[in-house]
Amino acid sequence: MATPIGNLGDFSPRAVAVLAAVDRIFCEDTRHSRRLLDHYGITTALEPLHAHNERRMAGQLVARMRDAGEACALVSDAGTPLISDPGYVLVSSALDAGVAVRTVPGPSALVAALSISGLPTDRFVFEGFLPSAGGARARRLAALTDEPRTLVFYEAPHRLLAMLTDLREAFGANRVAVVTRELSKRFETVYRGTLETLLGTLGADPHATRGEIVVLVAGAPQVATDAQEAEIDRLLGVLLAETDQRTAVRVVTRLTGARRNAVYRRALALAADD
């Protein structure tokens, strides 16, 4: 069951009725969920189910629902469960055991951010949180360099600027992106621009790295035209004579907005020709 991502007014009457009627509610943080329930006068018992105990607890919880006939609800701290939140193990275990699973749809930061981003929404890829380790994050972004669909990420506020820097390195300074924070809340803010301009804008805004963050990046541009390819070759020719290949590729990617993998392949081709 989805819960508000900020504005309590987004909780549906059906969601309130279901939570009041079930035998038990599984939640990430009982203190957090109790505040929501108290707001709506719901007294249903809460039981913690989070990333640290889900695998250990799922089996016995499912057995209880199946054998004792308990009707239970699953909520996350905010938004839709299982979307970068716990719940997958419980839901898949319940389905395997023949326990019926129903949805009570509602708020999702992913969908909310997409709907106001101004980026294409007909096809998109949700990547959740990137790896926190630098090497793993760089490898994941390298695999997404040529992805033509809109990319959607979640990010912790204290890592936002470092993430945007990594995105610029991987996708080029001119790739268009959108950063949303505090969706549905009083200080909801949307930043739009290239990765280069966003780094400057958010770096100068003390409020930008606070609250819940969703980052959206435009998909990879179409293959470069002959004129663009010629410009890439010209820039690479100059830079490769002065610096190493990795630096040359990074600089040309920033200057042209071309896909890093494409620039890298051109650099290899030029080196082979020499």
Q: Cβ distance 118 to 39 under 8 Å?
A: no
Residue pLDDT, tens place only, 138-190: 999 999 998 999 999 999 999 999 999 999 999 999 999 999 999 999 999 99
- Among 22-26, 27-31, 32-36, 142-146, the range scoring the smallest mean pLDDT is 142-146
Strand order in the sheet with 72-74: 45-48, 24-27, 72-74
Instruction: Average the pLDDT over 21-27 and give the result.
Output: 98
Q: What one-character-per-residue DSSP string does 40-78 give?
A: TT---EEEE--TTTHHHHHHHHHHHHHHH---EEE--SS
Residue pLDDT, tens place only, 194-246: 999 999 999 999 888 889 999 999 998 766 567 788 899 999 999 999 999 99
Q: Distance between CA 70 and CA 63 in Å, rounded?
A: 10
Q: Domain spanning 109-217: which CATH class is it, in words?
A: alpha beta
Write down the architecture of domain 8-96 according to CATH. Answer: 3-Layer(aba) Sandwich (3.40)
Q: Distance between CA 125 and CA 111 in Å, rounded?
A: 12
- pTM, 2 dp: 0.79
The pLDDT of residue 117 is above 90: yes
* pLDDT for the residue 222: 65
Q: Cβ distance 5 to 81 under 8 Å?
A: no
If you average pLDDT over every residue of the chain, what do you get? Answer: 93
Helix 160-171 × helix 134-144 angle, to 10° = 40
The pLDDT of residue 136 is above 90: yes
